[in-house]
């Protein structure tokens, strides 16, 4: 389970101005939650706090019972390596690695041996429909294909939590739906948790729950309406 | 366009402050070194030429012979010739000053004739000390000093100056000055008859300066006079004398200029690497500008202007630095930069406008050349593709060019076979350039090889580094080519200098076989050991045998400088460091051994006939072998002392080598020699002292070379550092992703360091190989053609390995430090930027 309690984050000198505070939420295994909100309300900052990439100013973040707030940089990196997967709006596929190597990258960081890493990467590529593109270079792929590679990379090491920041923001609506369905399906199949930050109502509706980030906190979409 | 130029292109230089500053500084250093060498040698050559013209005065022709001089009866015969308006005889002497531990050039002149031919040497009697003498200048002990000599020796009119004549110390009276000699020239003048008598030159002069009658053609007069001259005496125009003398230092000057040029080329390369990486980073910006309607040509021009601006600013800074370097070098090493070509002169530093303009232009050209390939790359870019993420990776897919590399190396081999142009090893330098280009072309292949080795370890960092270098070998090439060039240069110079020093050391051991050396005047003319002195030394207790040495010069033709003549017991050549086999002459013929320089300059080889002018007569010798001589660049010939004495009747010696009997101490015999010859009359040294002194001079000569080499290596390391800095900044997003995926800052830092070390290792390995090849060219072609001496290859393996390890470590450190800056920013911000 992923739990946030009374989370606080500010900006300016020493976090003088509150961006958000008193945020709490729970995500269960196999569940995908979408977070929506106006621009500048702090959605991406919240995502970064969840990943330990930005320090919270107060509150608690726990992944499967382990507290993230207060951990050192290296410990957080180790946690991300084992338990987190990321999908970015701009894909961020490394151009000097081929498709299979990009997918295998998290396994390399976990010191999985080459043959096993390659086998698992190929299996993930098959899962996202790119079995035949394993040895292609990223520049040879379309935007939709690149995001499928990113999904495979996010899940290949069987993380507990996948964080996706506008994962379909760079895709046309037709492809966006397919890619998003694939992402959510993969997360559910893996028994992982998914948190999706998006502007898109259509994308958010595919999640199990929608939370809206406002000045008052994280509110369930139904409650808000 | 001008607004776009200013705001988009030139303004980007200000945004990339560190890279721009390093490129600018590298070009400035290259310009400064080249300009400083030019200014120093220009000033020294000017001063040298002024000195030569001063001594030639109004003469149209100079009749010159060996250093020991020729019969002064020739003067009377030439003065009577129809073509000659005035003739002035001169005795040139290098006189040792025992109290000052230095020598002083003294010109014995005819005071009644000197005013008409070389007025600058006219002595001016100090009126206060005339003492009523009507012809004070003709008095036998009267000496006249130039202002510079007065200042340097601290002696003025009325005081006395001790000089060495043979082994006697003689006191001369400073009777006045030579005001026409100017401020920078240390010399003295005395009456010719007094000089001849005092220094044992009765009836001999060294030069006759002739001024021709109006309307007489100089060349025709020269042709008319030449046939009547004795053997070993030539008639030359003052300009030809000056050119011959100045030509002696030309190879050295060209060598230093080439080193400076390499520094400038390295600076240009730095512009290339920073511009190339900047173009990679700004690829989407350029694609956007192209989409907005900027023409391909305008984009290319804008990038070329960036390079030119860096070159121009670097050039301006280099001009200021160059004049500063020159001023410091004048103070520290003198006008010859320690090489000994222009000793005794004090050239003045001045702003050199033409040279400054030329080097400013070279700075701009270096900047333009560095920007050319990146600009061309940007010009070829397809905007639609470049707007897409990751397209800049295509810039780094360098293709190996094995054929071009092989062609460069084969071309270098062919160029090594070609002779010098005008005494300058132009083709040798071109071969060095081709080897460096070939090495850089080989680099992509080597980087691939390194990545294969690097792929063996299964650690994630190694795999990532391997993947990056394999997919984008261009990055390795851009960063590693600077390492290749600077390591190759440093290795080549280290091997060349080590080989040279080792060869000089062994040569000194070979040419100094005796246990003790007594020198009356080192290769000079005023001090000598007469037969009585030689006999007394030989008769000293503890002396087993002696080896007198007589030095002189001989003129073989009017196209070369006089060559040194060394007459001493040679034991059939066994006491010389021969190169190749000795060829004893047929019975009845006299053997002569020529130095490598003489063999080259006069196209002589073992078995050839050689006629030497000795005692005014041509004497036939047979070349019995070629020997190695690092002391006399203009050439030297060694003959048996007995043959010399038989031909000339000259029984004096300049030096004598003393072999001690078993059990005799050096100090005992040295003290005995001083007792019989006087404390200040001779110098006594052991072979070890002479060797140490000679090697110290060697090291001083190469001091400037070392300094310039260090600057070139420094610029190369700048290049590595800049390349990694720019690469690290360009890869911030990649590092951001890796941080998201769980890499710690330390791991990212180690990744960057690993890539830097692998790249530097490939560059250093190639630099070691290329440097060895360049050293071979320097030793076998450049030195051979420049200075005409050979040397044995000596590779300082230990030193090179330490150097290689330091370069690799520094490159890793540079990469790490550069990467640190890139990782300082938030990983979140890095990935938020558009890829």
Enumerate residues 6+ apart whose C-beta is below 8 A from A185. Answer: none
**Beta bridge mates, B350:** none
Residue B35 to residues B38, B110, B261, B313, B425: CA-CA distances in angstroms? Answer: 5, 43, 10, 15, 21
Query: pLDDT exceeding 70 applies to what percent of chain B?
Result: 85
Give a yes or no: residue B269 inside a domain: yes
Give pLDDT tens digits for B664-678: 899 999 999 988 887
Q: How many CB atoms lie within 10 A of CB B367?
A: 30
A178 inside 8 A of chain B by CB: no
Task: Let me know whether B449 and B573 are in one domain.
Answer: no
Task: Let me know whether B573 and B675 are in one domain.
Answer: yes
Helix axes B460-471, A99-109, angle to 10 degrees: 160
Confidence class for position B524, pLDDT limits 50, 70, 90: low
**Beta bridge mates, A136:** none
Task: Let me know whether B728 and B826 are in one domain.
Answer: yes
Give the best residue of A109, A163, A167 to mutate against chain B (max B CB count within 10 A). Answer: A109
The 8-class DSSP code of residue A151 comes to H
User: Can you tell me the mean pLDDT for B144-171?
Assistant: 86
CB pairs under 8 A between A and B: 91
Confidence class for position A4, pLDDT limits 50, 70, 90: very high
Q: Which residues of A touch B741 (CB under 8 A)?
A: 80-81, 86, 105-106, 109, 153
CA distance B285 to chain A (A): 17
What's the whole-number average pLDDT of chain B?
A: 82
Tokens linked to A131:
């079995």
CB contact under 8 A, B831 and A92: yes
Q: Which of B740, B743, B747 sits opposite A86 (nearest CB)?
A: B740
Per-residue pLDDT at B414 exceeds 90: yes
Whether the Cβ atoms of residue B608 and residue B591 lie closer than 8 Å to each other? no
Residue of higher predicted confidence among B243 and B233: B233
The span from the CA of B28 to the CA of B459, in Å, is 43
Residue of higher predicted confidence among B385 and B40: B40
3-state DSSP call for residue A29? coil
Q: How many CB atoms lie within 10 A of CB B244?
A: 17
Q: How many domains does chain B have?
A: 4
Task: Let me know whether B613 and B662 are in one domain.
Answer: yes
Give a yes or no: residue B169 inside a domain: yes
Enumerate residues 6+ apart whose C-beta is below 8 A from B252. Answer: B339, B341, B786
Cα dihedral B184, B185, B189, B192 in deg (nearest 10): -150
Tokens linked to B614:
């000795």
3-state DSSP call for residue A113? coil
Give a yes or no: residue B390 inside a domain: no
User: Can you tell me the mean pLDDT for A146-151?
Assistant: 90
User: Can you tell me the mean pLDDT for B730-751?
Assistant: 83
Per-residue pLDDT at B87 exceeds 60: yes
User: What is the C-alpha end-to-end distance of chain A, expressed in Å?
Assistant: 27
Give a yes or no: residue B394 inside a domain: no
3-state DSSP call for residue B179? helix
Give the best residue of B741, B754, B824 to mutate against chain A (max A CB count within 10 A). Answer: B741
Per-residue pLDDT at A200 exceeds 90: no
Give the best residue of A63, A77, A98, A101 to mutate against chain B (max B CB count within 10 A). Answer: A77
User: Can you tell me the mean pLDDT for A58-71?
Assistant: 92
Query: pLDDT exceeding 90 applies to what percent of chain B?
Result: 18
Print the domain residue range for B318. 1-55+265-382
Task: Let me know whether B526 and B669 are in one domain.
Answer: yes
3-state DSSP call for residue B777? helix
Predicted pLDDT of residue A224: 42
The total number of residues shown for chain A amounts to: 225
Confidence class for position B339, pLDDT limits 50, 70, 90: low
CB contact under 8 A, A109 and B460: yes
Which of A184-198, B104-118, B732-746 reaches the highest mean pLDDT? Answer: A184-198
CB contact under 8 A, A95 and B471: yes
Q: Which residues of B touch A90 (CB under 8 A)?
A: 389, 831, 834-835
User: Can you tell me the mean pLDDT for A195-214?
Assistant: 90
What's the whole-number average pLDDT of chain A?
A: 87
Q: Which residues of A touch B736 (CB under 8 A)?
A: 92
Pairing of strands B168-177, B124-125: antiparallel
Predicted pLDDT of residue B249: 67
User: Can you tell me the mean pLDDT for B786-806?
Assistant: 88
Tokens linked to B788:
């005409």
The span from the CA of B439 to the CA of B561, in Å, is 40
Give the domains, in start order, of chain A with CATH numbers. 2-224 (3.40.50.300)
A72 inside 8 A of chain B by CB: no
The span from the CA of B41 to the CA of B342, in Å, is 9
Q: Which residues of B touch A94 (CB under 8 A)?
A: 734, 737
| End residue of a domain, out of B644, B667, B685 | B685
Predicted pLDDT of residue B337: 54
3-state DSSP call for residue B744? coil
Q: Which of B389, B742, B826 sits opposite A90 (nearest CB)?
A: B389
ipTM for the complex? 0.80
Give a yes or no: residue B259 inside a domain: no
B62 backbone dihedrals φ, ψ, rounded to 5°: -125, 135
Q: Picking from B15-29, B311-325, B529-543, which range would have the lowest pLDDT averaged per residue?
A: B15-29
CB contact under 8 A, B742 and A79: yes
Q: Which residues of A touch B459 (CB under 8 A)?
A: 111
E strand spans, B98-228: 102-109, 124-125, 142-145, 160-165, 168-177, 188-191, 204-205, 207-212
CA distance B266 to chain A (A): 29
Q: What share of chain A is helix, strand, coil (3-state, %, to 5)?
A: 40, 25, 35
Give pLDDT tens digits for B420-455: 887 788 899 899 989 988 988 888 788 777 767 666
Q: Picking from A116-120, B244-248, B696-700, which range would have the lowest pLDDT averaged per residue?
A: B244-248
Task: Let me know whether B226 and B278 are in one domain.
Answer: no
User: Can you tell me the mean pLDDT for B364-385?
Assistant: 83
Global pTM exceeds 0.95: no
Give the best residue of B388, B454, B460 to mutate against chain A (max A CB count within 10 A). Answer: B460
Give pLDDT tens digits for B118-132: 778 888 887 665 555
User: Can you tell me the mean pLDDT for B179-203?
Assistant: 84
Enumerate residues 6+ apart whose C-beta is below 8 A from B39. Answer: B322, B323, B326, B349, B352, B355
Give a yes or no: residue B743 inside a domain: yes
Residue B350 to residues B39, B46, B54, B317, B326: CA-CA distances in angstroms? Answer: 8, 11, 21, 17, 10
Whether the Cβ atoms of residue B781 and residue B787 lie closer than 8 Å to each other? no
Per-residue pLDDT at B69 exceeds 80: yes
Predicted pLDDT of residue B354: 86
Residue of higher predicted confidence among B34 and A197: A197
Find, among A198, A126, A135, the residue nearest to A155 by Cα: A126
Give a yes or no: residue B674 inside a domain: yes
Q: Which residues of A touch B734 (CB under 8 A)?
A: 94
Residue A47 to residues A53, A56, A205, B277, B828: CA-CA distances in angstroms? Answer: 9, 11, 19, 33, 10
B551 backbone dihedrals φ, ψ, rounded to 5°: -110, 140
CA distance A111 to chain B (A): 7
Per-residue pLDDT at A111 exceeds 50: yes
Nearest CA in chain B to A114: B458
B80 backbone dihedrals φ, ψ, rounded to 5°: -85, -5
Find, among A141, A146, A195, A186, the residue nearest to A166 by Cα: A195
Q: Given strand A2-11, what is the order of strands in its sheet?
A: A17-27, A2-11, A58-63, A66-67
User: Can you tell me the mean pLDDT for A19-42?
Assistant: 89
How many CA within 13 A on the CB side of residue B401? 14
| End residue of a domain, out of B685, B716, B746 | B685
Q: How many CB atoms lie within 10 A of CB B831?
A: 24
Predicted pLDDT of residue B834: 40
Give a yes or no: residue B248 inside a domain: no
Q: What share of chain B is helix, strand, coil (3-state, %, to 5)?
A: 60, 15, 25
Q: Which 102-131 residues of chain A touch chain B by CB within 8 A?
A: 105-106, 108-109, 111, 113-114
The span from the CA of B70 to the CA of B234, in Å, is 11
Find, among B189, B204, B208, B210, the residue nearest to B138 by Cα: B189
CB contact under 8 A, B744 and A77: yes
Task: Let me know whether B598 and B629 are in one domain.
Answer: yes
Predicted pLDDT of residue B389: 55
Task: Let me know whether B473 and B334 are in one domain.
Answer: no
**Beta bridge mates, A60:** A5
Give pLDDT tens digits for B609-667: 999 999 888 999 999 999 998 888 889 999 999 999 999 988 989 889 999 998 889 99
Task: Let me know whether B666 and B520 are in one domain.
Answer: yes
Buried b (16+ CB within 10 A) or exposed e, B482-517: bbbbbbbbbbbbbbbbbbbbebbeebbeebbebbbb
Enumerate residues 6+ apart whose C-beta is below 8 A from B129. Answer: B157, B158, B175, B176
Helix axes B745-777, B473-511, angle to 10 degrees: 40
The span from the CA of B281 to the CA of B292, in Å, is 19
Task: Let me know whether B50 and B79 are in one domain.
Answer: no
Q: Which of A53, A91, A96 sits opposite B740 (nearest CB)?
A: A53
CA distance B754 to chain A (A): 16
Q: Picking from A28-37, A111-120, B357-366, B726-735, which range would have the lowest pLDDT averaged per residue?
A: B726-735
Q: Which 29-58 residues of chain A touch chain B by CB within 8 A?
A: 44, 48, 51, 53-54
Task: Let me know whether B490 and B441 are in one domain.
Answer: yes
Q: Picking from B131-140, B187-196, B277-286, B543-552, which range would have the lowest pLDDT averaged per residue?
A: B131-140
Find, among B66, B48, B63, B51, the residue nearest to B562 by Cα: B66
Q: Which residues of A touch B472 (CB under 8 A)?
A: 96
The span from the CA of B382 to the CA of B391, in Å, is 10
Find, among B287, B305, B309, the residue nearest to B296 by Cα: B287
Per-residue pLDDT at B823 exceeds 70: no
The span from the CA of B737 to the CA of B733, in Å, is 6
CB contact under 8 A, B389 and A95: yes
Task: Let me know whether B717 and B822 are in one domain.
Answer: yes
Residue of higher predicted confidence among A205 and A13: A205
Whether the Cβ atoms of residue B540 and residue B669 lie closer than 8 Å to each other? yes
Whether the Cβ atoms of residue B318 and residue B363 lie closer than 8 Å to each other? yes
Q: Picking from A116-125, B360-369, B457-466, B531-540, which range would have the lowest pLDDT averaged per residue?
A: B457-466
User: Radius of gyration (Cα) for chain A, nearest Å?
Assistant: 17
Predicted pLDDT of residue B658: 93
Buried b (16+ CB within 10 A) or exposed e, B32-45: bbbbbbbbbbbbbb
CB contact under 8 A, A111 and B460: yes
Enumerate residues 6+ apart whose C-beta is below 8 A from A103. Answer: A121, A124, A125, A149, A152, A153, A156
Residue B175 to residues A17, B179, B190, B465: CA-CA distances in angstroms? Answer: 94, 13, 10, 81
Element (H, E) at B47: helix B17-56
B interface residues, A as partner, C-beta within 8 Å: 388-394, 458-460, 463-464, 467-468, 470-472, 733-734, 736-737, 739-747, 826-828, 831-832, 834-835
| End residue of a domain, out of B636, B664, B685 | B685
């Amino acid at each position: 389970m992923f739990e946030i309690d009374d989370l606080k984050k500010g900006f300016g000198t020493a976090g003088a101005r509150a961006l958000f505070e008193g945020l709490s939420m729970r995500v269960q295994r196999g569940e995908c939650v979408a977070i929506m909100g106006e621009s500048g309300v702090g959605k991406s900052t919240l995502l970064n706090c969840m990943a330990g990439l930005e320090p919270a100013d107060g509150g608690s973040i726990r992944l499967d019972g382990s507290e993230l707030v207060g951990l050192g940089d290296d410990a957080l990196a180790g946690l991300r390596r084992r338990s987190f997967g990321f999908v970015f709006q701009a894909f961020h596929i490394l151009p000097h690695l081929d498709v299979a190597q990009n997918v295998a990258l998290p396994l390399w960081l976990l010191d999985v041996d080459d043959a096993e890493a390659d086998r698992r990467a190929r299996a993930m590529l098959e899962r996202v429909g790119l079995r035949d593109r394993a040895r292609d270079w990223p520049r040879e792929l379309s935007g939709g294909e690149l995001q499928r590679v990113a999904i495979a990379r996010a899940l290949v090491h069987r993380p507990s939590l996948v964080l996706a920041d506008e994962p379909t923001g760079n895709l046309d609506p037709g492809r966006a739906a397919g890619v998003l369905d694939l992402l959510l399906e993969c997360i559910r199949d893996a028994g992982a948790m998914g948190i999706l930050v998006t502007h898109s109502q259509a994308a958010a509706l595919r999640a199990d729950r929608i939370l809206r980030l406002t000045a008052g906190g994280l509110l369930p979409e139904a409650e808000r309406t | 366009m001008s607004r776009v130029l200013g705001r988009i292109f030139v303004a980007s230089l200000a945004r990339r402050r560190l890279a721009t500053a390093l490129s600018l500084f590298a070009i400035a250093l290259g310009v400064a070194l080249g300009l400083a060498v030019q200014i120093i040698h220009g000033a020294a050559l000017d001063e040298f030429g002024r000195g030569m013209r001063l001594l030639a005065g109004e003469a149209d022709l100079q009749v010159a012979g060996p250093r020991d001089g020729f019969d002064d009866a020739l003067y009377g015969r030439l003065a009577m010739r129809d073509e000659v308006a005035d003739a002035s005889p001169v005795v040139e002497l290098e006189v040792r000053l025992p109290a000052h531990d230095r020598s002083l050039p003294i010109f014995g002149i005819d005071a009644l004739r000197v005013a008409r031919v070389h007025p600058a040497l006219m002595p001016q009697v100090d009126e206060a000390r005339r003492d009523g003498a009507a012809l004070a200048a003709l008095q036998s002990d009267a000496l006249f000093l130039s202002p510079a000599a007065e200042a340097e020796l601290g002696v003025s009119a009325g005081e006395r100056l001790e000089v060495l004549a043979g082994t006697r110390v003689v006191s001369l009276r400073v009777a006045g000055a030579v005001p026409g000699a100017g401020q920078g020239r240390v010399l003295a003048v005395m009456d010719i008859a007094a000089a001849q008598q005092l220094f044992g030159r009765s009836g001999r002069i060294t030069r006759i300066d002739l001024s021709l009658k109006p309307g007489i053609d100089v060349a025709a007069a020269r042709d008319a006079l030449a046939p009547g001259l004795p053997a070993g005496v030539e008639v030359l125009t003052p300009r030809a004398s000056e050119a011959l003398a100045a030509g002696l230092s030309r190879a050295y000057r060209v060598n230093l200029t080439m080193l400076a040029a390499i520094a400038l080329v390295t600076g240009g390369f730095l512009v290339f690497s920073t511009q190339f990486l900047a173009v990679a980073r700004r690829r989407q910006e350029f694609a956007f500008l192209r989409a907005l309607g900027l023409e391909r040509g305008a984009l290319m021009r804008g990038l070329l202007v960036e390079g030119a601006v860096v070159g121009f600013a670097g050039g301006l800074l280099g001009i200021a630095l160059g004049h500063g370097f020159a001023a410091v070098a004048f103070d520290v090493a003198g006008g010859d930069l320690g090489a000994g070509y222009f000793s005794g002169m004090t050239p003045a530093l001045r702003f050199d406008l033409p040279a400054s303009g030329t080097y400013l232009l070279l700075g701009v050209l270096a900047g333009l050349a560095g920007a050319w390939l990146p600009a061309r790359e940007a010009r070829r870019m397809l905007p639609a593709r470049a707007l897409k993420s990751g397209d800049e990776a295509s810039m780094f897919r360098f293709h190996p060019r094995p054929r071009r590399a092989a062609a460069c190396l084969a071309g270098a081999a062919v160029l090594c076979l070609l002779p010098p142009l005008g005494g300058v090893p132009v083709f040798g330098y071109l071969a060095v350039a081709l080897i460096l280009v070939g090495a850089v072309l080989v680099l992509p292949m080597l980087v691939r090889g390194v990545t294969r080795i690097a792929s063996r370890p299964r650690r994630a960092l190694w795999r990532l580094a391997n993947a990056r270098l394999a997919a984008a070998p261009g990055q390795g090439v851009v960063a590693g080519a600077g390492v290749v060039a600077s390591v190759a240069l440093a290795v080549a110079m280290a091997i060349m200098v080590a080989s040279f020093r080792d060869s000089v050391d062994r040569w000194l051991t070979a040419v100094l076989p005796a246990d003790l050396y007594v020198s009356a005047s080192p290769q000079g003319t005023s001090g000598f050991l007469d037969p009585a002195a030689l006999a007394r030394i030989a008769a000293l207790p503890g002396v087993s045998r002696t080896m007198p040495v007589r030095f002189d010069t001989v003129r073989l033709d009017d196209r070369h400088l006089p060559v040194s003549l060394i007459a001493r017991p040679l034991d059939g050549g066994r006491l010389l460091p021969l190169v190749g086999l000795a060829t004893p002459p047929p019975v009845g013929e006299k053997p002569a051994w020529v130095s490598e320089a003489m063999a080259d300059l006069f196209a002589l080889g073992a078995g050839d006939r050689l006629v030497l002018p000795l005692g005014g007569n041509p004497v036939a010798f047979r070349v019995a072998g070629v020997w190695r001589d690092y002391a006399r660049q203009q050439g030297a010939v060694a003959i048996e002392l007995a043959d010399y004495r038989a031909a000339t009747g000259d029984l004096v010696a300049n030096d004598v080598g003393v072999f001690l009997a078993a059990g005799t101490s050096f100090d005992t015999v040295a003290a005995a020699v001083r007792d019989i010859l006087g404390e200040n009359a001779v110098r006594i040294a052991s072979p070890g002292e002479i060797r140490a002194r000679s090697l110290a001079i060697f090291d001083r000569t190469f001091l400037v070379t070392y300094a310039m080499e260090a600057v070139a290596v420094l610029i190369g390391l700048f290049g590595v550092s800049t390349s990694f800095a720019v690469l690290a900044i360009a890869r911030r997003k990649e590092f951001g992703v890796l941080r998201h995926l769980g890499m710690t800052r330390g791991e990212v830092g180690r990744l960057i360091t690993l890539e830097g070390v692998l790249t530097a290792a490939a560059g250093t390995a190639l630099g070691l190989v290329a440097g060895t090849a360049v050293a071979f060219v320097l030793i076998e072609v450049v030195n051979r053609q420049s200075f005409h001496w050979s040397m044995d290859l000596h590779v300082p393996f230990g030193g090179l390995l330490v150097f290689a390890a330091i370069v690799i470590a520094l490159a890793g450190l540079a990469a790490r430090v550069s990467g640190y800056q890139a990782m300082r920013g938030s990983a979140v911000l890095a990935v938020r930027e558009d890829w």
